[in-house]
Amino acid sequence: MSESPFPAVPAPDLEARREAVARYEALAVPAGGLGVLADLGLWLSSMQGTCPPRPPARVRVVVVAADHGIAAAGVSAYPPEVTARQVAATLEQSAPVAVAASVSGASVRVVDAGLDREALLPGQERFKVRRGSGRIDREDALTTAEVETAIRIGRALADEEVDSGADLLVPASLGVGATTPASTLVSAVTGAEPVAVVGRGSGIGDDAWMRKAAAIRDALRRAKPHVRDPHALLRTAGGADLAVLTGFLVQAALRRTPVLLDGLVVGAAALLADELAPGAHHWWLAAQNSPEPAMTLVLQHLQLVPVLDLQVRQGDGTGAVAVLPLIQAAARLLGETTTAEASGIAPVRAVAG
């Protein structure tokens, strides 16, 4: 793989993290009493470069929608036209991510990067990479030029959100059949056997599972010569959504903006983003465990520990949005909990002799 075209990813603020550790040690709580909530506060301090951290108040969910040619192979429980209906439900605020986002105060944006129809959302033609992606078991998903365009679109999307004040980003996806290219990319990057990455995706039965396994096997055979080249992997075995999300994740890290990861499609894009911009994963937090075996491999490869074990398989960001109240509470706990000195609440000191 050639040298990265991106600048070096900045590191999170370790001094702010050290200040947060010292502040926790001074709180009127038992050592380790706040558990993972303390870890979340430390993470947020290092992301924001300040202690105590601010509760995220402008959380933006960006849902990237696209169709995949591999859906024609019967790898999903739903027909390809369902992607557009899922987008419509999200816009109508009746899809899971929209409902959950209303609880935590996050806003949801949907981007049509590759639906197999004319631009579904007015004014979004500039985000459209192409209509549908190629059937990856037989042909490339994208052209080289389309990969470059998609990554550029993803970076521009991240810039738009950060420039408008977003303080936490949640990339997400919608697309029938999308977990098949995502699983293929995970297998290619991690070296896992195809059978180890095949999940139930949209809730498929055994017959569809076998078709999905065959599709991943054939797609991986085409992708294997490019395992060290993220751009070529996106071209041969990715898709418009995966390439846009890859660019989005790279740019979020370059802009020092924390990201909540959730869903296999986003996870596969994260693998490639960290290959393109080493160290980008330091700006990401894994929201929750997924029942998809390929997502477990993603988290292991990126050395990320999920906050919760919700087992949510939705790729639209629902699991990440469900974690947001914990992150907001963690920030307030670090900033507003009284200290042992101020309250007089302190452990008994051991008496010598």
Overall average pLDDT of the 105-116 stretch: 96
Q: What percent of the chain has pLDDT over 70?
A: 96
pLDDT at 54 over 90: yes
At 170-206, the pLDDT tens digits run: 999 999 999 999 999 999 999 999 999 999 987 899 9
| The CATH number of the domain covering residues in 59-322 | 3.40.50.10210
CA atoms of 80 and 273, how far apart (whole Å): 27
pLDDT at 1 over 50: no
At 321-335, the pLDDT tens digits run: 999 999 999 999 999
Q: Are 340 and 28 in contact (CB under 8 A)?
A: yes
Helix axes of 240-254 and 264-276: crossing angle, nearest 10 degrees: 60
Does 52 sit behind a cis peptide bond, omega within 30 degrees of 0 on the bond before it? yes
- Output the pLDDT for position 341: 87
CA atoms of 128 and 198, how far apart (whole Å): 29
The closest alpha carbon to 82, from 92, 93, 68, 96, belongs to 68
Q: Are 115 and 84 in contact (CB under 8 A)?
A: yes
CA atoms of 260 and 287, how far apart (whole Å): 6
Burial 161-191 (b: 16+ CB within 10 A, else e): bbeeebbbbbbbbbbbbbbbbbbbbbbbbbe
CA atoms of 210 and 271, how far apart (whole Å): 25
Residue 349's pLDDT band (cuts 50, 70, 90): low
The closest alpha carbon to 286, from 269, 314, 265, 308, belongs to 308
CA 268 vs CA 3, 54, 76, 173: distances in Å: 21, 30, 18, 11
Helix axes of 144-163 and 230-237: crossing angle, nearest 10 degrees: 110
Handedness of CA 88, 92, 95, 96 (dihedral sign): positive
pLDDT at 2 over 50: no
- Which residue ranges make up each domain of the chain? 59-322
